[in-house]
């Protein structure tokens, strides 16, 4: 039988007209885009057609496999400690404001003798990146070779580092294109993007934190549920034991947004304190990860007992960081006062994310530096009563000309009422 011949235009037309792509079409177009045979403008048109027309589960699974196939796969099945195999588990968040959970969670789970290979990214836009946060620690380095990561996982259990360019290179190229063509928010493309990297990373199990609300990609519960169900199915079909939690992202997590500020808050959690919501979500995700790794334990014990803090110190030191070095402090701060007295009924996560970003905590373009000390401290969260003139926020930056833009973003961020709002559950649902 003659081999099928493919071309980009007929593949775009097929999806534009609402038909499913064949396995052969998907394999070809993903490979041809990665090697440059399919032009960026053609892939942009196809991404828009996918956003508007959707994909069947079979198509998403094949697209994911094709993206994995463009790069290398890591293998942690050989990890050992004391001659025994180490189970592996990982967590991925779809991104939120003040989402520093990876920082306390990774050493907490590692403190139970589980390896947590966390390949993380840098922030772009209003959500922060885990690597940017950790780089606020003096000396800490994000780049580990595969051999260094393997050795660190065996020695200390946790490693948070930059994903090398070898994992799913098709995704890297496609994500950059989606970012500038209004096609980020397509469930098939988000699901395949996240899961291609996580499957290629080689973890045996995975917990997904799928955010819902004003500060998340997925604004509605229905969209978030569809994304979570799609990713759980992709993981399972590829042999990665996957569970998802749907969690609220209308309000920022904790009381800080910004790199060094979030490290400080994470250290409070590792010291047995910290904001209730950060502790609650850290423990909820740790329970899921430990269960998937076959460990029967209550993770609250290792937060209280200091074992998670010991694992944090070992993990930071292993990557050249000084866990005792003071965190950077911004050269300038400004308070934003409450315009009147009342009870806070809402705090808009997106507004806080944008303010932190404008203060210098985030970047506008890939590769730009970020300020380690910039960000927002939130003094009032929903349910708190405030007096007129009391600070609602403290803004931190090294470049004070940024204050006005950040304050403008926060102008309508807080809503007030007479009584505390009904408490929204932080963990909305579990999908397995
Ligand atoms: N994070 C990813 O890695 N990919 C997406 O498409 C969206 C969020």
Q: Which residues fall within 8 angstroms of residue 219, CB to CB, at 6 or more apart?
A: 212, 213
Q: Is 92 a catalytic residue?
A: yes
The per-residue pLDDT for 151 is 96
What pLDDT was estimated at residue 217? Answer: 86
Give the per-residue pLDDT at 1: 62
276-292 vs 259-270: helix crossing angle, rounded to 10: 70
Which has the closest alpha carbon to 108: 325, 297, 326? 297
Does ligand 1 lie within 6 Å of residue 175's CB atom? yes
- Catalytic site residue from 111, 120, 192, 193: 193
Tens-of-pLDDT digits for all 432 residues of the chain?
667 899 999 999 999 999 999 999 999 999 999 999 999 999 999 999 999 999 999 999 999 999 999 999 999 999 999 999 999 999 999 989 999 999 999 999 999 999 999 998 887 666 778 999 999 999 999 999 999 999 999 999 999 999 877 899 999 999 889 988 999 889 999 999 999 999 999 999 999 999 999 889 899 999 999 999 999 999 999 999 999 999 999 999 999 999 999 999 999 999 999 999 999 999 999 999 999 999 999 999 999 999 999 999 999 999 999 999 999 999 999 999 999 999 999 999 999 999 999 999 998 777 788 999 999 999 999 999 999 999 999 999 999 999 999 999 999 999 999 999 998 899 999 999
- Give me the pLDDT at residue 274, please: 98
23 tagged catalytic: no
Q: Are 50 and 187 in contact (CB under 8 A)?
A: no
| Rounded distance between C-alpha atoms, residue 183 and residue 329, angstroms | 37
Phi and psi torsions of 65, nearest 5°: -65, -40
| Burial category of 413 from C-beta neighbours within 10 Å (exposed 0-12, middle 13-18, buried 19 and up) | buried
Distance CA 256, CA 279 (A): 14
d(CA 312, CA 309): 5
Residue 282: what pLDDT? 98
Domains in the chain with CATH codes? 8-54 (1.20.970.10), 80-318 (3.40.1030.10), 332-417 (3.90.1170.30)
**Main-chain dihedrals φ then ψ at residue 304, nearest 5 degrees:** -65, -40
Measuring from atom 6 of ligand 1, which residue has the nearest CA?
190
Check pocket membership of 92 for ligand 1, CB cut-off 6 A: no
Distance in angstroms (rounded) separating the CA atoms of residues 187 and 371: 32
**178 carries an active-site annotation:** yes
Among residues 171, 248, 277, 348, the one annotated as catalytic is 171
- Distance (angstroms) between ligand 1 centre and the Cα of 194 equals 5
pLDDT value at residue 176: 87
Pocket test for ligand 1, best of 163, 208, 217 (most atoms within 8 A of CB): 217
State yes or no: is 171 an active-site residue: yes
Quote the distance between the C-alpha of residue 104 and its chain's center.
Answer: 14
**Model-level pTM?**
0.95
Q: Is 158 exposed, middle or buried (0-12, 13-18, 19+ CB in 10 A)?
A: buried
Distance of CA 276 from the midpoint of ligand 1 (Å):
28
Q: Which atom of ligand 1 is nearest to the CA of 184?
A: 6
Tokens 């190229």 found at: 173
Cβ atoms within 10 Å of 328's Cβ, excluding its own: 19
Strand positions, DSSP E, 173-290: 205-212, 241-248, 256-257
Query: Quick one: CA dihedral 371, 377, 382, 386, positive or negative?
Result: negative
């Amino acid at each position: 039988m003659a081999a099928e011949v493919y071309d980009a235009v007929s593949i775009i037309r097929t999806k534009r007209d609402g038909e499913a792509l064949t396995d052969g079409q998907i394999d070809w177009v993903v490979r041809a885009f990665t090697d440059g045979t399919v032009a960026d403008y053609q892939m942009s048109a196809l991404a828009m057609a996918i956003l508007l027309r959707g994909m069947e589960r079979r198509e998403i699974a094949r697209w994911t496999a094709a993206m994995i196939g463009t790069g290398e796969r890591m293998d942690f099945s050989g990890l050992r400690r004391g001659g025994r195999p180490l189970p592996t588990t990982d967590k991925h968040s779809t991104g939120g404001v003040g989402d520093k959970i990876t920082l306390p969670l990774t050493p907490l789970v590692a403190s139970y003798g589980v390896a947590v290979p966390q390949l993380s990214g840098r922030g772009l836009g209003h959500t922060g990146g885990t690597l940017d946060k950790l780089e606020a620690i003096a000396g800490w380095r994000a780049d580990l070779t595969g051999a260094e990561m393997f050795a660190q996982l065996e020695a200390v259990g946790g490693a948070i580092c930059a994903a090398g360019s070898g994992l799913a290179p098709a995704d890297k190229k496609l994500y950059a294109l989606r970012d500038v063509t209004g096609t980020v928010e397509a469930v098939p493309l988000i699901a395949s993007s996240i899961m291609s990297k996580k499957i290629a990373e080689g973890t045996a199990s995975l917990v997904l934190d799928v955010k819902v609300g004003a500060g998340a990609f997925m604004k509605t519960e229905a969209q978030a549920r569809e994304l979570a169900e799609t990713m759980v199915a992709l993981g399972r079909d590829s042999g990665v034991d996957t569970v998802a939690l749907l969690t609220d992202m209308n309000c920022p997590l904790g009381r800080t947004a910004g790199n060094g500020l979030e490290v400080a808050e994470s250290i409070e959690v590792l010291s047995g304190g910290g904001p209730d919501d950060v502790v609650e979500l850290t423990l909820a995700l740790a329970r899921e990860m430990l269960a998937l790794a076959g460990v029967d334990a209550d993770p609250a014990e290792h937060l209280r007992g200091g074992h998670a803090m010991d694992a944090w110190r070992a993990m930071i030191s292993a990557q050249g960081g000084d866990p005792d070095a003071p965190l950077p402090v911004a050269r300038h701060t400004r308070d934003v006062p409450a315009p009147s007295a009342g009870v806070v009924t809402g705090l808009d996560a997106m507004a806080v994310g944008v303010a932190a970003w404008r203060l210098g905590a985030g970047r506008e373009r890939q590769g730009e530096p970020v300020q380690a000390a910039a960000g927002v401290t939130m003094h009032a969260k929903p349910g708190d009563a405030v007096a007129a003139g009391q600070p609602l926020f403290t803004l931190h930056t090294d470049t004070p000309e940024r204050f006005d833009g950040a304050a403008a973003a926060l102008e309508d961020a807080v809503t007030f009422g007479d009584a505390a709002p009904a408490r929204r559950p932080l963990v909305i649902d579990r999908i397995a």
